[in-house]
Amino acid sequence: MTGGGNSGIGGGGRPGTWGARLLAVAFWLVAWQLLSWAVDSRIILVGPLEVLARLGSLALTPEFWASVGTSLGRIGLGFLGGLAGGLLLAALAARVRAARVLLAPLMGALKAVPVASFVILVLLWVSSCELSVVISWIMAMPIVYTNVLEGIEQTDAGLLEMAEVFGVGALERVRMVYLSQVLPYFRAAVSLALGLSWKAGIAAEVIGLPDLTIGEHLYDAKVYLDTPDLFAWTVAIVVVSVALEALVSRGLDVALSWWEARP
């Protein structure tokens, strides 16, 4: 009886959780709308209804999707570069101690220096069109490197010894041992690096002002005191970020299932 009751609670946990989240979102949307009415100034604050209406009208224009696509493409390229670089350097540092010692100050500096400083410095070396690519790469690489290296170092030594005893090859060792051990660290790194790369890339666009990007529209909205546009583009940034994280998480699940199913 107890098991059945717990199962029922567990089974209803997810809908209940989503219901609570929706209520929380509804509460803050209502509070936002009431606050905008109280302020009664479209320059200072606009309500969610006006923002959604403006976002809907923007979404009907080709320029909106072209800007989203341009920003997404450049920032995505930088993120993928940082992901690949972080993985390769983590694998190198795990095997060669000298490489780990040499990379430690560099990764520490990349994580410590403010994004604004990087944006201004990089803008001296590359064009505004390439700025968001480089900044996204800089944001992603140290996070992936640190997390993956930690995962490799935390791999169960007993499993590695067993693989050695049974003569398991390098590729199979990665699939059977390292993949399961490092995956939680890799997932955390991808989630964190993706969010930071997206936000930092947009910030770089606001400073560099490349044509037909989200950052350019944010800057224009600020200059012309177009608060509805500013909020609408901000909501678009959040929506794309959430969709990206869900898509990447799903992609990791599919890739992992395919890898584990290999003979």
Which secondary-structure segment (H or E) carries 1?
Answer: none
Phi then psi dihedrals of residue 46, to 5 deg = -120, 155
DSSP states of 183-241 as a string? HHHHHHHHHHHHHHHHHHHHHHHHHH--SSSHHHHHHHHHHTT-HHHHHHHHHHHHHHH
For residues 87-98, give the mean pLDDT.
Answer: 92
Nearest to 207 by CA among 197, 199, 215: 215
The 10s digit of each residue's pLDDT in 26-69 is 999 999 999 999 988 888 899 999 999 999 999 999 999 999 99
What burial class does residue 232 get, using C-beta atoms within 10 Å of its C-beta: 0-12 exposed, 13-18 middle, 19+ buried?
buried
The model's confidence at residue 168, banded by pLDDT at 50, 70 and 90, is low
For residues 184-193, give the mean pLDDT.
Answer: 90
Residue 165 pLDDT > 60, yes or no?
no
Q: What is the pLDDT of residue 95?
A: 86
DSSP states of 71-127 as a string? HHHHHHHHHHHHHHHHHHHHHHHHH-HHHHHHHHHHHHHHHHS-HHHHHHHHHHHS-
User: How far apart are the C-alpha atoms of 14 and 261, rounded to whole Å?
Assistant: 29
Q: What is the pLDDT of residue 42?
A: 84
Using an 8 Å Cβ cutoff, are 192 and 120 in contact? no
Question: What are the boundaries of each domain within the chain?
Answer: 1-40, 44-261
First to last CA, the chain: 43
Q: What is the pLDDT of residue 37?
A: 92
pTM of the model: 0.83
Question: What is the fold, at CATH topology level, of the domain defined by 44-261?
Answer: MetI-like fold (1.10.3720)
Residues 6+ away with beta carbon under 8 Å from 125: none
Using an 8 Å Cβ cutoff, are 107 and 49 in contact? no
For residues 97-124, give the mean pLDDT.
Answer: 90
Using an 8 Å Cβ cutoff, are 189 and 140 in contact? no
23 torsion bin: left (phi>0), alpha (psi -120 to 50), beta (else): alpha
Percent of the chain predicted with pLDDT > 90: 57
Nearest to 182 by CA among 262, 246, 252: 252
User: How far apart are the C-alpha atoms of 143 and 199, rounded to whole Å?
Assistant: 15
Q: What is the pLDDT of residue 178?
A: 64
Q: Which residues of 181-198 are buried (b: 16+ CB within 10 A; e: fewer)?
A: bbeebbbbbbbebbbbbb
* Cα 60 off chain centre by: 26
Using an 8 Å Cβ cutoff, are 107 and 50 in contact? no
Q: Which of 15-29, 55-69, 110-124, 186-200 shows the lowest per-residue confidence on average (mean pLDDT)? A: 15-29
Q: What is the pLDDT of residue 172?
A: 61
For residues 84-100, give the mean pLDDT.
Answer: 92
Q: Which of 11-15, 47-51, 73-77 shows the lowest per-residue confidence on average (mean pLDDT)? A: 11-15
What DSSP character marks residue 47? -
